[in-house]
Amino acid sequence: MSIKNDNELRTKNGYRELKDNFKSIQAGEKSQKTSDIYEDENHVRSVWLEKYSFRIALLSMFIAVSVVLAYALASIPNIELFTLSIFLGGFIMRKKEGLVIGSLSALIFVFFNPWGVSPLPLMMYQLIHYALIGLAGALTHWFLKDKSYYRPKNDLYTLPLMGLFGFIGLIITLTYDIISTLIGVLPYAPLDAFFLYFLSGIVFTTVHEIGNTLGFIFILPGLIQLVYNMLH
């Protein structure tokens, strides 16, 4: 083989090797990028939650658990885990599913309430309210996912998280009690009657506020950690 042909062959081989190395680097970068995306998403989601069939099953489970808890505690005045269960469903499954869990759970319980079906204006508010609770759970997760104090693999019983969950539980419950009372009273009586009616039930309202606030502080973090560890 002549020197010229030998040089050309080396040049071609070198070019081919350089091209292969470049492709390998590109493939490595693409793989690393995909891995990073998966790792970031895995901090928020799980492989199980990417399966459509599993998501449907989990969504159905949250609805069933919420309704069962609502019926189980229906005989105890103003003590309930219905709100907490819907919030948890939204926290785990995100916005769309949270809306579905809240609205369908409320729809089932309102129509088959052992104490009777609510009047139409109140029933419409209840459906909207509980749908928004599921959404609130999803938005709370979105807010927490990059916070240094949110570490579901370790311990969620920290002061920042417990304080935040307690505040959310208090606001959700207080909002429901005030608006539902307004809807129940204003069509039939003047605004002055609302304050009298609200104050007359202040003991039951206080029990409701305290019960849900304590549930969000002491029960919700443990449930989030339990479900998170099961899914990741």
- 144 and 68 in a single domain? The answer is yes
Do residues 137 and 89 lie in contact, with contact meaning Cβ atoms separated by under 8 Å? yes
- 191 and 151 in a single domain? The answer is yes
Instruction: Say how many residues make up the chain.
Output: 232
- 5 and 103 in a single domain? The answer is no
pLDDT digits (tens, 9 = 90+) for 160-185: 999 999 999 999 999 999 999 888 87
Q: Where does the pLDDT of residue 117 fall: very low under 50, low under 70, confident under 90, or very high at 90 and above? A: confident
CA 156 to chain CA mean position, Å: 15
- 200 and 215 in a single domain? The answer is yes
pLDDT digits (tens, 9 = 90+) for 27-56: 444 444 433 332 333 354 578 888 889 999
- 91 and 177 in a single domain? The answer is yes
- 9 and 75 in a single domain? The answer is no
- 205 and 107 in a single domain? The answer is yes
Average pLDDT, integer, range 58-68:
97
User: In total, how many domains does the chain have?
Assistant: 2
Residue 165's CATH number: 1.10.1760
- 104 and 215 in a single domain? The answer is yes
Domain that holds residue 2: 1-44
- 171 and 195 in a single domain? The answer is yes
- 156 and 221 in a single domain? The answer is yes
Do residues 215 and 173 lie in contact, with contact meaning Cβ atoms separated by under 8 Å? no
- 166 and 195 in a single domain? The answer is yes
- 122 and 165 in a single domain? The answer is yes
User: CB 153: neighbour CB atoms within 10 A?
Assistant: 10
